[in-house]
Amino acid sequence: MREEKRFCPLCGNRLEKILHDHRMRLVCTVCKKPLYENPLPVTAAVILDHGDQLLLVKRKMEPAKGEWCLPGGFVELDEGPAQGVVRELAEETGLSGVVDKLIDCVYENNPFYGPVIIMGYQLTAQGGELKAGDDAVAVQYFPLTALPPIAFDSHQTIINKITRKNG
């Protein structure tokens, strides 16, 4: 869980919550700079095999350990979201892929990480060997008509968007 910041990252003095820019924000008591806290950027990969089989990973760690979700994860500081989703796909599934399109962006207040924005991308697999890696204990294609329960509401929203287009 993200903890509320207590000290200014610029000068080290205490922060206090005050009305700033029409919102309650943390502002430094000395340098008066506001602390703009933003959602963390997260990606989710949609890979369809033969148009009706969806690739899912079973999570190795919390949050949602042991539950199924789309491959994906946090965008790193040195990459954009499209690069991040390709990297996460490789790390979690062993597959390489290319981004076809952005499906949707979904806001979620994750109880573990706090506010996140999940960018769901449709990708085409371009090779590699399907195997669980990194944060996954299993990786498997499921028929769109027989998916297991999905760990995150945001992932379900993205899946719903793609199944409406393919259904």
User: HSE of 32 in the Cβ direction (CA atoms, 13 Å)?
Assistant: 2
pLDDT digits (tens, 9 = 90+) for 37-90: 899 999 999 999 988 999 999 999 998 999 999 999 999 999 999 999 999 999
| Distances in whole angstroms, Cα of residue 38 to Cα of each of 35, 41, 73, 95, 114 | 9, 9, 17, 31, 10
pLDDT digits (tens, 9 = 90+) for 127-136: 999 999 978 9
CA distance 136 to 131: 9
CA distance 29 to 146: 55
Kindly state the average pLDDT of the residues 119-126: 98
N-terminal to C-terminal alpha carbon distance within the chain = 37
Phi and psi dihedrals of 6, rounded to 5? Answer: -115, -20
Q: What is the pLDDT, as a whole number, of residue 51?
A: 84
Which residue segments constitute the domains of the chain, with CATH numbers given?
1-37 (2.20.70), 40-166 (3.90.79.10)
- Round the average pLDDT of the chain to a whole number and report it: 94
Position 34 pLDDT exceeds 70? yes
Residues 81 and 43: beta-carbon distance below 8 Å: yes
SS3 42: strand
More confidently predicted of 113 and 149: 149
CA distance 92 to 73: 9
Number of other residues whose CB lies within 10 A of the CB of residue 43? 27
**Parallel/antiparallel/unpaired status of strands 23-28 and 15-20:** antiparallel
Phi and psi dihedrals of 156, rounded to 5? Answer: -65, -40
